[in-house]
Structure 1
Amino acid sequence: MTDAVKYTLKTDPQGMVGRECPNRACKAYFKIKSEDLNVEELICPICGQKKYNNKYTTLQQIDYINSIIFKKDVCSLGPDKYTKTTPVIDYVETPAKCVFTCDTCGKKFGIDEKPDYCPFCEATYEHLHAEDKCDIAGK
């Protein structure tokens, strides 16, 4: 049995990694601290959908990881061949407009719109506090 290979996702200047809601009707984009990538489940801060953390991986992150593994779009490596060379597809994590801290669990997350839930413990908006001046539109 072999150990699973883990690939490091990029972070923004605040050390956060993007997540995207897997609910097709929502697709909310938010950020979590890179050290929180090991949590088992996340809750979408907009629609409240709860899924395994890996279901929140963005398409850009998947393309980036695949380009590391398969060197896609450059050569014809199949899924049984791997490379450790520089990725072909890259992406940049930009900071969220606002960083919120949850009173209930103490975790931080970033988002560009007013959240309804904490992505870690499902606490509602009343328990979420913006760290700095936050210019986001209310719902």
Structure 2
Amino acid sequence: MSILHCQGFLEALAIINGEASDLCASYELQCLPDAPDLATALGLRVEDYALNVIEPARDLPAALWRIEPAPCARTHLESVCQRWFFSSQHMQAAPPGRFRAQLVAAFIDSLDDALGGFSLHAVTMTPPAGFWYAIHWDEIAFELGDERYLLHFSHSD
């Protein structure tokens, strides 16, 4: 399994969870920019996001985002995936129990194959005043040495 496999898995779930709603679901696994540490890498990502994704583009230094990565347990990753994979009314109709657990486990297994050994960090942040990021979101960073990835879930309108 690879990062591309994980990204495909997430893209499919984003389509399914956004299909029956007026909300845009964004589920991504992306490589973070090279940086001396995780907080700096996350800061570079949001600065790039403000300049290149949102219109109109804005120069918003990382310090304005109040980004805080904190180590988290695998159970946090599992609960975040469970919440986002079944966030739409369409997916909430999926049978509870075994089916849902197997879908989350399949994704976690693909993450383990691609990013096994990485440490997990729950990422919290407060975007700058007057700046739109998303209606709600969850982010988890993966780090091993100088290699870093961000698992991003969000809904926007």
Q: TM-score range by the shorter chain?
A: under 0.3
Structure with more contact order per residue of length (Cα contacts < 8 Å, sep ≥ 6): 2
Q: TM-score, normalised by structure 2?
A: 0.24
Structure having the higher Rg: 1
Higher helix share: 2
TM-score (ref. length: structure 1): 0.25
